[in-house]
Structures are given as C-alpha cells and as structure tokens.
Structure 1
Amino acid sequence: MKSVVIERPEVLRVQERERPQPTAGQVRVKVRYASICGSDVHIWHGHNPFARYPRVIGHEFFGVIDAVGEGVDAARLGERVAVDPVVSCGHCYPCSVGRPNVCSALQVIGVHLDGGFSEYALAPSGNAYKLPESIPDRLASLIEPFTIAANITAFLNPTGQDIALVYGAGPMGLTAVQVLKGVYGVKQVIVTDRLPERLAMAQDNGADRVINNSEISLAEQLAGIQPTLIIDAACHPSILPEAIALASPAARIGLLGFSGDTCAITQQSLTSKELSLFTSRLNSRRFPQVIEWINQGHIQPAKLVTHTLPLSQIEQAMTLFEKQPRTCCKVIIEMD
C-alpha cells in the first residue's frame, strides 16, 4: 500500500508499505479521502512537539472498514466510517471525568500513531463512527475539524444574546464561525484577519461582520463594541492580552490551539471583569454531535473545501495548503 511518511523533519516520502493487520479491538479502514490540517504541515517541518518519527501523517480521514480484529463484530465490515484520532486509556483521571482528549497516556492517530494519509489505516473500533448516507464520502474527513469547534464551544456555551469575536479566518476559525451561527444562533459573529481573501471566506461561512486589522487597530474599528464571547483561532501570543482588553465584563474567552511563545497578562485584567478563560485540545468524543449537525444541515463542510488532489501529489498539496492562504482553505486528498 502507498503511505505518506515523514521520515524526519523536512523529509516527506510516498512509500510502499505492508498492509497493516488489525489487532484485538481494532478495525482496518480502507481510506478513501483525507484532508490536510496545519498540524500535518508542522510535523513535516519538525514543529510539532508531540510527533515521533518516522510517521505516517493524517488525522482527518474517512473510509470503509475492510478488516476487523479479535472482539470486533464482523458485521462492521463494509461500514462507511469517519475516524476520531484521539486514542485514550479510558481509566486515568481525565478519562474518568469525560476528558479523554487530555488522557494521561494520550495518543493521536497521525501524530503518535500512524495515520490516514495511507491507503489503509488502523484505529480502535470505538473510534470509527458509522456515517449516514446523507454525508457524502468527499466531505466526511471534515467531520474531525468541526469537532475542534464543537469542543471549544461546549466550554463557552454560546447563546443567541452573544456578540462573538473570532480571531483568524483560517480553517479552524471558519469552523467556529459556522458552529456559532448555524448551531447556536449567536446574534453577531465578528471575524478579524489580515488577509482580505480570508475575510471573504469568513463572510461566506456566516460571519456577520469582518475586520481587517492589518493597518487600523481592532479596538479602533470595534468602536466600543465589547464582545461577550471571544475565540482565538490564530494563537499569536499578542492576541490574548488584546482579547482581554476588548472583552465585555463577564465575557468568555476560548483558546483554540497552542503557541509555545510567552504571553504576558495580569491577573487583574481577568478578575476586574470576572472573565472566564477556557482552553481546548483536540475533541472529547464530539464525533456523534458533529455528524448530527451535518445531517441536520446546521453546518456546511463543503464551504471549506477549495482544492482536491490525489495522494500522489501530496507534497504539492501540503505546499499549497501552507503557502497559499489567500486562495486555499481545506485541501482534500483522494486516494489514487
């Protein structure tokens, strides 16, 4: 089988590998479509602190179960499934309180374990979610990125009264916009970015207002509007202090991603407004929720897709995703 392997930082190969065999509790998925995430690019360049090399990358993927391991019902053969990449132990403290995404022994398919940029991939049977026919094959790999937005919004508890501000109109910011508007009915969603093409994408995904903060400060353009809910989907260290300053008293702020750089804030800036600060990593069993949202038409993954390329052009696809943010959002990889 063909697999996309990062042998070491900056070295990407499409290799021929032996088809993996499922062990007890696992299923094997014949992958049909996968999609590129920024973390895949970070692993390629050696910027993901959690990755181990060599690694078959890809944590957003869809396919059909074609083999099962011991203890898995053979009736699952032939199921169309999207795969949750979060693999947890099930018995540590985080798992016991419903937070398997920060399991003490966390492994992520495509980061710690071989992933879905391959003709075949393995996953725990419980991580392979059967899909309704209403979700087309080509869009099914996009369930995973929407689970990230589902996870942070579950903490933030948006309402129809909120004025939301989203930093960053990249794929993660756009999924958050769709969820805030389509699922929670937030009154106003404002998106800020420095690329006009990205801001146009934000409008197409449901943003009520977009602000280009490349030359005029965001505070000046908001003109006294105080957001009651803020999502940082850009994760530059300068954003959180600004978000705290702009936020309404009693607002909620969510961090959707991570940066290793230092960020300076004061306790007073938080407590004086009694702000709530939430962090989010991956997703905590949000696949069924997102599948239902898509099935009901609350979110529209197709709005994110700008390019589809075959597996044989993976390096071109990764470069396109990384280098062309003005014209590229989500890139779908089709198995040759």
Structure 2
Amino acid sequence: MKSVTIQQPEKLVIEERSAPQPLPGEVRIRVTCAGICGSDVHIYRGHNPFAKYPRVIGHEFFGLIDAVGEGVEKSRIGERVVGDPVVSCGHCYPCAVGRPNVCAELQVIGVHRDGGFSEYVTLPAKNAHVVPDSIPDNEATMVEPFTIAANICSQMKPGPLDTVLIYGAGPMGLTSIQVLRGVYGVKEIIVADRIDERLSMAKANGADRVINNANSDLKTELDALGIRPTLIIDAACHPSILPEAISLASPAARIGIMGFSSEACVISQQAITSKELTIFSSRLNSNRFPLVISWMTERKIQPEKLITHQFPYTQVLDAMELFEKDQKQCCKVLLKF
C-alpha cells in the first residue's frame, strides 16, 4: 500500500508499506478520502510535541471496512465508515467519567500511531462509525472536524439567549458557527478575524456580524453595538485572546478555549471572579461522532460549504502548502486515495 509518511520534520515521502492486519477487536479501513488539518502541518514542520517519527499522518478519514480482527463481526466488512482518532484505555479516571479524549494513556491516530493518509489504516472497531448512504464521501470526511465544535459546545451549553463572539474564522471557527446556528439556535453570532476573505466565509456559514480586528479595536466595536458576549469561543489560539475575552465577556458568561498554544498569557483572577465567568477547555472529541453524523443526516450542518480544494494523495505536498499558506481562499483540503 501507499502511505504518506513524515520520516522526520520537513521530510515527507509517499512510500510503499505492507498493508496492516487488524488486531483482535480492530477493523481495517480502505481509505478513500482524508482531510488535511493544521496539526498535520505541525507534525510535518516538527512543531507537534506529541508526534514520534516516522509517522503516517492524518486523523480525518473515510472509507470502507475491508477486513476485521478476531472478535469483530465479519458482517462489518463493506461498511462505509469514518474513523474516530481518539484511542483510549477505557479504565482510567477520564475514561470512567466520559472524557476519553484526555485519557491517561491517550493515543491519537495520525499522531501517536499511524494515521489515515494511507490506502489502509487499522483502528479499534468501536472507533469506526457507520455513515448513512445519504451522506456523500466528501462530506463524511468532515465528520471529525465538526466533532471538535460539538465537543466544546457540549460543555458550554449554548442556547437561544446567547450572544456569541468567535475569535477566528478558520475551520474550527467555521464549524463552530454552523453548529451554534444550525443546532443550538443562538441569538447572535459575531466573528472576529484579521483576514477579510475569512470573514466573508464566516458570513456564508451563518455569522450575523463580522469584525476585522486587525483594523479596529474589538472592544470599541462591541461597545458601539451595545454587545456584551455571553459566550466566547477562542478558535484562533493566540495567547492575547483569553485576557481580552475575559474583559469583553458579560457577567455570567462562558469562555471556551480550543487552542493548543504553549505560550503564557496573563489573566486577572478578579476579572474572572467579579463576573463569575466559567472557562472551558476542549481537546479533540469525547464520543461525538454519532451526534455529528445525526446532524449531517438531518441537514442541521452543511459540511460541503467548508470544502474548498481536493487533490489526489500523490500531490499531498502541494495540498499541504496550499492549506498552510492560502488563508484567504482555502478552508478544508481533501486528499483522494
């Protein structure tokens, strides 16, 4: 089989490998479509502290089950499935309380173990989720990105009284807009970003207002509108955002952090406590795949709006360079296997 492998930072090859055999309790997927995520680029560039090399990257993938391991029903062969990249132990404290995404022994497919940028990938059978025929292959590949939004929203519990501010109109921000609008019916969504083309994407995906905070002061803009956000999502991942979000938030607001920056930021305890703010963080997803598949089936979200480019996997370097550098026109890039 052909696999996209990062042998070491800045060294990507498409190499011939033996097809993996599913272990007991596992299935093997013949991958047909996979999505590029920022974390894939980070592994390629050597900026992901969790990745070990060499590594087959890719954690957003769709395909057909073509083999099963011992203990898995053979009737599963032929199923159209998407793979949940979160592989957990099932018995530690986080797993016991329904948060396998921060399992004490967490393995992420495409990071800690080989991923879906390959013609075949193996994973636990419970991680392979059936996709109805009504969802096209391309859209099915988008289930994983939407589970990120589903995960943070499940913690923050948005509702029709909420006025939402989202920092960042990249893929995480855009999926959050769609989920907040189509599933939770929030009152108003404001999006801040520094790229006008990204803000246009935000409007197309359901934002009510957009603000270019490269050219204007966000607090001044919100004050002029008389807006105090009751729910704020940081989908831009810069250390300056959390202190600003705390200052902008309404009393009793919730703030959600989706980023993974290691840079320090300075926040005021008094600013948090005086408004009794709640701050959530969210990593990956905790069993949100069935929920997102149901949203797609019911057309509460429109994943096709986010797919801007497609490439054969043989052009993976071109695809990753486009994803990394063209923030004006590019959102989600899919690879075809």
TM-score (norm 2): 0.99
What letter matches 1:291 in structure 2? I
For residues 195-234 of structure 1, the C-alpha deviation after alignment (integer angstroms, 9 at most, x for no partner) is 0000000001000111001121101111241000000000
Structure 2 residue aligned with 1:327: 329
Aligned-partner Cα distance in 1 for 2:244–2:306: 28
Deviation at 1:162, TM superposition (A): 0.4
For residues 19-66 of structure 1, the C-alpha deviation after alignment (integer angstroms, 9 at most, x for no partner) is 111110110000000000000000000111111110000000000000
Structure 1 residue aligned with 2:74: 74
Structure 1 residue aligned with 2:207: 207
Structure 2 residue aligned with 1:43: 43
Aligned-partner Cα distance in 1 for 2:178–2:159: 14
Alignment of 1:292-307 (within 5 A): 292-307=294-309
Tell me whether 1:165 sits opposite 2:165 in the alignment.
yes
Structure 1 residue aligned with 2:245: 243
Deviation at 1:6, TM superposition (A): 0.4
Aligned-partner Cα distance in 2 for 1:172–1:216: 23
Aligned-partner Cα distance in 2 for 1:52–1:266: 37
Aligned-partner Cα distance in 2 for 1:7–1:124: 25
Aligned-partner Cα distance in 2 for 1:41–1:130: 28
Aligned-partner Cα distance in 2 for 1:256–1:186: 19
- 1:303 match: secondary structure: helix
> Aligned-pair RMSD on alpha carbons?
0.5
For residues 275-296 of structure 1, the C-alpha deviation after alignment (integer angstroms, 9 at most, x for no partner) is 0000000000000000000100
Alignment of 1:38-117 (within 5 A): 38-117=38-117
Deviation at 1:139, TM superposition (A): 1.5
- 2:261 match: secondary structure: coil
Aligned-partner Cα distance in 2 for 1:141–1:15: 23
Structure 1 residue aligned with 2:17: 17
What letter matches 1:63 in structure 2? G
- 1:42 match: secondary structure: helix
What letter matches 1:275 in structure 2? L
- 1:6 match: secondary structure: strand
Deviation at 1:141, TM superposition (A): 1.1
- 2:50 match: secondary structure: coil
Deviation at 1:251, TM superposition (A): 0.2
What letter matches 1:198 in structure 2? R
What letter matches 1:187 in structure 2? K
For residues 123-150 of structure 1, the C-alpha deviation after alignment (integer angstroms, 9 at most, x for no partner) is 1000000111111012111100100000
Unaligned runs of 5+ in 2: none
**Which of the numbers 226, 232, 235 marks the counterpart of 1:233?**
235
Structure 2 residue aligned with 1:265: 267
Structure 2 residue aligned with 1:280: 282
Aligned-partner Cα distance in 2 for 1:239–1:327: 24
Aligned-partner Cα distance in 2 for 1:171–1:263: 24
Unaligned runs of 5+ in 1: none
Deviation at 1:92, TM superposition (A): 0.4
Alignment of 1:111-150 (within 5 A): 111-150=111-150
**Which of the numbers 312, 315, 326 marks the counterpart of 1:313?**
315
The aligned length equals: 335
Deviation at 1:152, TM superposition (A): 0.2
Deviation above 4 Å: which 4+ runs of structure 1? Answer: none
Tell me whether 1:253 sits opposite 2:247 in the alignment.
no
Aligned-partner Cα distance in 1 for 2:259–2:89: 23
Aligned-partner Cα distance in 1 for 2:139–2:50: 27
For residues 96-129 of structure 1, the C-alpha deviation after alignment (integer angstroms, 9 at most, x for no partner) is 0000000000000000010000000011000000
Deviation at 1:266, TM superposition (A): 1.3
TM-score (norm 1): 0.99
Aligned-partner Cα distance in 2 for 1:314–1:281: 26
- 1:4 match: secondary structure: strand
What letter matches 1:320 in structure 2? L
Identity %: 66
